[in-house]
Amino acid sequence: MHGKTHEEIRTIRPLKDGVIADFTAAEQMIRGLIKMFNNKNRLFSPSLRIVICIPSGSTEVETRAIRDSAEHAGGRDVPMAAALGIGLDVEAPEGNMIVDIGGGTTEIAVISLGGIVSNKSIKIAGDDLTEDIQEYMGRQHNIKVGERTAEAIKIAVGAALTELPEDESPEDFIVHGPNRMTSLPMDIPVSYQEMAHCLDKSLSKMDSAILSALEQTPPELYADIVKNGIYITGGGALLRGLSKRFTDRIGIQFHVPEDPLHAVAKGTGIALKNIDKYNFLIR
């Protein structure tokens, strides 16, 4: 429906930049998800327990808003869900670094002994890459594209490098839209090389944030990270060539685990199923 509604319907994003933007809509969304879960599993317990994962850089006000929106269900939050979701032992006495590139924020954390040793949270993530594409298409090709079309371009030909292996190189994507000046229809082929140039500015900010988190890391844990590598999760990890770009820029091997898109959701589920074991992670 987004971008296709008339004046009597509007689409709302309850969450923006990883935190609640519309309190009422967020509460209704959570109620709807709980209702769907209850209907599917035939559970109607009034003491349903929820685990909510939040950005590590959230302020107390933002955290309280999330808690309040789920207070009827007794929500709790776990900050290291991505690490759990990809199978890392968060309680081990060694350093592991996670870079979770979501829609609104990029979360970077060094984890050891069940705690976050250093972290960085920046509001540059998937939504910003989509906005970069919208702006680029208008400026470079004089074509107007909506958010959904920009997202489709990102998925089809989005890349972090201008040179990809032949088996990873996607074919050009044909963008259909109106000319910004004349409103006449246009068909523009877009290559992954173009997208690599388009997204470079935002990706460079991620480079800087990762380096900033590494600067705050104690030497012993830094040595562990160099040995173990750095793990990228979230939908942004699916961007072609991203792990190689980070590896070349920072000099540490970056890994993309299987199914990075659902790592946080899986990790949150693990924490919920083993709430007593991971009780030390609860804020």
**pLDDT on residue 247:** 96
Strands (E), the chain: 15-16, 19-20, 50-52, 75-77, 96-101, 106-112, 115-122, 173-178, 185-190, 230-233, 254-255
Q: What structural domains and CATH numbers belong to the chain?
A: 15-81+266-281 (3.30.420.40), 93-125+203-261 (3.30.420.40), 126-198 (3.90.640.10)
pLDDT tier at 25 (50, 70, 90 boundaries)? Answer: confident
Backbone φ and ψ for 36, nearest 5 degrees, come out as: -60, -40
Q: What is the pLDDT of residues 251-280, one digit of tens each?
A: 999 999 999 999 988 888 888 788 777 765
**Percentages (nearest 5) of helix, strand, coil residues in the chain:** 45, 20, 35
| 240: pLDDT strictly greater than 50 | yes
E strand or H helix at 1: none
How far is CA 68 from each of CA 59, 73, 184, 264, rounded to the nearest angstrom? Answer: 14, 10, 49, 21
**Of 104, 82, 86, 102, nearest to 264 (Cα)?**
82
Q: What is the pTM of this model?
A: 0.79
CA distance 266 to 264: 5
Q: In this structure, what is the dihedral angle of CA atoms 83, 84, 90, 92, given to the nearest 10 degrees?
A: -110
SS3 state of residue 117: strand
Q: In what order do the strands lie in the sheet with 254-255?
A: 115-122, 106-112, 96-101, 230-233, 254-255
Q: How many residues belong to the chain?
A: 283
C-beta neighbour count of 83 within 10 angstroms = 25
Mean pLDDT for the stretch of residues 180-192 = 93
pLDDT on residue 98: 93
42 compared with 143, residue with greater pLDDT: 143
Angstrom distance (rounded) from CA 219 to CA 204: 25
Q: What mean pLDDT do residues 168-185 have?
A: 93
Interval 16-41 mean pLDDT? 77
Maximum Cα interatomic distance, the chain, rounded to a whole number of Å: 63
| DSSP class of 74 | T
* Confidence grade of residue 78 (pLDDT, cut at 50, 70, 90): very low
Within 13 Å, how many C-alpha atoms sit on residue 143's CB side? 18
Task: Read off φ and ψ for residue 59, nearest 5 degrees.
Answer: -80, 170
**Torsion, Cα of 275, 21, 131, 164 (10° steps):** 0
Token pair 């890994």 is at which residue? 255
pLDDT tens digits, one per residue of 110-121: 988 888 888 888
Q: DSSP letters of 147-193?
A: HHHHHHHHHHH-BS-S---GGGPPPPEEEEEEBTTT--EEEEEE-HH
Residue type for position 132: D
